[in-house]
């Protein structure tokens, strides 16, 4: 996973980057990841999808970790389902049509023999929900 933008943002805001990984469908891996996050208690986690964020929020709730009071959660997704979770998820919403178009173009280029790495920027927006604790010092 390329986390250059993540590390750059952490550096810009004097944050210590940390990555938590698990294997989909492997409950032992998921539980170990949740245990690590619960022990380390970061202020915020950014989940790779609404599904992962909801699963995380649910498992933390079972452990008495309150979202967003004890831990803020942001997903990189922003589906319509995000607002149905408790609390509703704050999400970095991607333009799925542009993402699909860019992915299709990359695939066609690779099939055609042109697979040089390059950056593609997809516009995003922040969809507010209830899963992030607002730090009043910022206002």
| Percent of the chain scoring above 70 in pLDDT | 94
Q: Dump pLDDT digits (tens) for 24-56.
A: 878 888 888 888 988 888 988 998 889 888 888
Residue 119 pLDDT greater than 90, yes or no: no
pLDDT band at residue 136, thresholds of 50, 70 and 90? very low
Instruction: Identify whether the C-beta of residue 81 lies closer than 8 Å to the C-beta of residue 49.
Output: no
Q: Residue 128 and residue 75: Cα distance in Å, rounded?
A: 11
Q: Residue 63 and residue 84: Cα distance in Å, rounded?
A: 21
pTM of the predicted structure, to 2 decimals: 0.78
pLDDT band at residue 90, thresholds of 50, 70 and 90? very high
Query: Phi first, then psi: what are they for 75, rounded to 5°?
Result: -105, 155
CATH 3.20.20.105 fits 4-138, yes or no: no
């Amino acid at each position: 996973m390329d986390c250059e933008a993540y590390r750059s943002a952490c550096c810009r805001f004097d944050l210590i980057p940390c990555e938590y990984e698990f294997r989909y469908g492997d409950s032992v891996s998921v539980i170990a990841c949740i245990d690590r996050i619960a022990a380390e208690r970061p202020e915020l986690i950014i989940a790779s999808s609404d599904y992962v964020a909801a699963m995380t929020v649910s498992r933390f709730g079972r452990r008495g970790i309150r979202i967003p009071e004890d831990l803020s959660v942001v997903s990189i997704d922003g589906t319509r389902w995000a607002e149905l979770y408790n609390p509703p998820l704050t999400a970095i919403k991607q333009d799925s049509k542009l993402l699909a178009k860019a992915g299709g173009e990359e695939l066609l280029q690779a099939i055609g023999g042109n697979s040089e790495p390059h950056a593609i920027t997809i516009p995003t927006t922040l969809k507010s929900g209830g899963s992030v604790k607002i730090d009043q010092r910022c206002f």
